[in-house]
Amino acid sequence: MGQRFYVETLGCPKNQVDSDKLIGTLLADGMQPTDDAAQADLVVVNTCAFIDEARKESIDTILALEDQRKRGARLVVTGCMAERYGQELADALPEVDQVAGFGVPVTLGLTRGGPTRSIAVSSAKVPSFDLLNLPRPKSTSPWAYVKIAEGCDRSCGFCAIPSFRGPQRSRDIDSILREVDELEAREIVLVAQDLASYLYPSDLTDELIDAICDTGVPYFDLSLQHVSKPLLRRMRRWGDGDRFSSRIAHIRGREPGAAFRSNFIVGYPGETEDDHDQLLRFVEDVELDWCGFFSYSSEEGTYAADLDGIVAPALMAERLAELRQLQDDITARRRDELIGTLATVLVDEPGVARSHREAPEIDGIVEVPDHLAVGEFVAVRIIDAMGPDLVAEGVTAAATAGV
């Protein structure tokens, strides 16, 4: 058997796409994948550096895989943490053979103690080894992420991503369509560091709303982060709760079946009780299908790192719990309202499917009969709900006539 590789991916869907493209290059080099790190000749950790918790997970994973790898195997660290910390990371982890920043090929060619360089996207030309436009293997599931851009042009007060992912550069449509064809997936989920540049309410034109609704997948993942106008300005972001509510109402008027998700930061420096109450009222009034709430994490080099008005961790946790409980109740209620309705779902695996209301890996699922074919779109009737998840039964073609 030829040489084998193992890839561990941490963080967001964008990292998963990058890992898929790394895997494509390793397969092209004649290597074979393995699910057992202890059997691999090359062990790759694609790291996340978004917040402190993610960085700790990355370090723990690197050290765990160092213990597991076989004698003579090569350990390579890549991804956001490798790009952001580069030589600092290499010095702190001498057990790592290579710290490969963006644009650095991951191979077996270097030996322990070889180069540990990191190319900063923000200050370098687009590298010849450009993950954004490399080919990918065929998708192993009925759906797949496709990254349509890299980097971000915004300067949000809480975010360090532009400092190591660089300014936004979009892919051309032909390259995106080519990748979609290569994946052979039934559903494509578009991702980017700043996909919100296409879906932020200020950029969400009527034409874009119509285009999304016309796909048959009216799912809107809106990057809101908060609703208090003063706090949003302190975050260096646009908008306020009234504008956001108005835009969401407009979309629901155009497409009553539209699904909505957003994420909110809790405990950003200067967040007052009034700011928190505004967010609670917004969440209660607007009733988004899905919400993520995250505690603020101070990031070195960001605008917010030097702000006053630090929110105590205990208060932050209290606010998080209040918002999460409120949203759990809303999500459960909205899911209950779907009982008795018909839906078209994509079967992801035996017994598990999703309609247009559920994004993969992050939202709830639809439980379906095991005999429904994986990778097929099928009509079902929702017969029960269990919190974020639905239960459905298959229906005949006659039952869906006219729907």
Model confidence over 290-304: pLDDT tens digits? 999 999 999 989 999
Average pLDDT over residues 168-191: 93
pLDDT band at 107 (very low <50, low <70, confident <90, very high): low
H or E stretch at 133: none
The 3-state DSSP composition of the chain as helix, strand, coil percent (nearest 5) reads 35, 20, 40
Give the distance between the most distant pair of CA atoms in the chain. Answer: 67
Q: Are strands 143-147 and 187-191 parallel, antiparallel or unpaired?
A: parallel
Alpha helices in 184-288 (DSSP H): 196-199, 206-214, 229-234, 241-254, 273-286
Higher pLDDT, 117 or 338: 338
Average pLDDT over residues 126-145: 78
According to the model, what pLDDT value does residue 194 have?
A: 84
Q: For 4-100, which CATH class?
A: alpha beta
Cα 83 from chain centre: 19
Superfamily of domain 342-400, CATH level 4:
Nucleic acid-binding proteins (2.40.50.140)
The position carrying tokens 């917010």 is 304
Report the percentage of the chain scoring pLDDT > 90: 67
pLDDT beyond 60 at 382:
yes
Q: Among 26-30, 222-226, 274-278, which is the least confidently predicted range?
A: 26-30
pLDDT beyond 90 at 43:
yes
According to the model, what pLDDT value does residue 174 have?
A: 93
Q: Are strands 143-147 and 149-150 parallel, antiparallel or unpaired?
A: unpaired
Q: Where are the domains of the chain?
A: 4-100, 131-333, 342-400
Residue 293: C-alpha distances to residues 223, 319, 322 (Å): 12, 10, 10
pLDDT beyond 50 at 127:
no
The C-alpha torsion from 276 through 280 and 282 to 288, rounded to 10°, is 130
What is the pTM (predicted TM-score) of this model?
Answer: 0.84
According to the model, what pLDDT value does residue 164 have?
A: 81
Instruction: State the Cα–Cα distance between residues 33 and 39, nearest whole angstrom.
Output: 10
Q: Which residue in 359, 382, 377, 284 sits closest to 327, CA to CA? A: 284
User: What are phi and psi for residue 303, nearest 5 degrees?
Assistant: -60, -40
According to the model, what pLDDT value does residue 395 have?
A: 86
- Asked if 13 contacts 145 with a C-beta cutoff of 8 angstroms, the reply is yes
According to the model, what pLDDT value does residue 140 have?
A: 92
The 10 Å Cβ neighbour count of residue 61 is 18
According to the model, what pLDDT value does residue 6 have?
A: 96
pLDDT beyond 60 at 365:
yes
The sheet with strand 290-295 has its strands ordered as 219-225, 259-266, 290-295
> What end-to-end distance do the CA atoms of the chain give, in Å?
54
According to the model, what pLDDT value does residue 103 have?
A: 66
According to the model, what pLDDT value does residue 3 have?
A: 92
Average pLDDT over residues 305-320: 97
Average pLDDT over residues 269-297: 97
- Asked if 384 contacts 390 with a C-beta cutoff of 8 angstroms, the reply is yes
Task: Give me the CATH code for the 131-333 domain, please.
Answer: 3.80.30.20
pLDDT beyond 70 at 2:
yes
Average pLDDT over residues 51-76: 91
Residue 373: C-alpha distances to residues 135, 140, 268 (Å): 28, 15, 46
Average pLDDT over residues 47-76: 91
Instruction: State the Cα–Cα distance between residues 223 and 113, nearest whole angstrom.
Output: 42
**Residues 6 or more apart in contact with residue 54 via CB below 8 angstroms:** 10, 11, 48
- Asked if 354 contacts 365 with a C-beta cutoff of 8 angstroms, the reply is yes
According to the model, what pLDDT value does residue 165 have?
A: 82
Q: Among 58-62, 73-77, 131-135, 213-217, which is the least confidently predicted range?
A: 131-135
DSSP 201: G
The 10 Å Cβ neighbour count of residue 371 is 8
Q: Which residue in 258, 265, 255 sits closest to 311, CA to CA? A: 265
pLDDT beyond 90 at 400:
no
The position carrying tokens 């993950």 is 131
Six-digit token pair at 235? 């975050």
Residue 145: C-alpha distances to residues 13, 167, 179 (Å): 7, 21, 10
According to the model, what pLDDT value does residue 110 have?
A: 43
Collapsed DSSP state (helix, strand, coil) of residue 139: coil
In sign, the C-alpha dihedral spanning 150, 170, 192, 33 is negative
According to the model, what pLDDT value does residue 108 have?
A: 61
Mean pLDDT score of the chain: 89
How many residues does this entry show for the chain? 403
Residue 277: C-alpha distances to residues 156, 223, 229, 236, 274 (Å): 22, 19, 13, 20, 5
Instruction: State the Cα–Cα distance between residues 176 and 335, nearest whole angstrom.
Output: 34
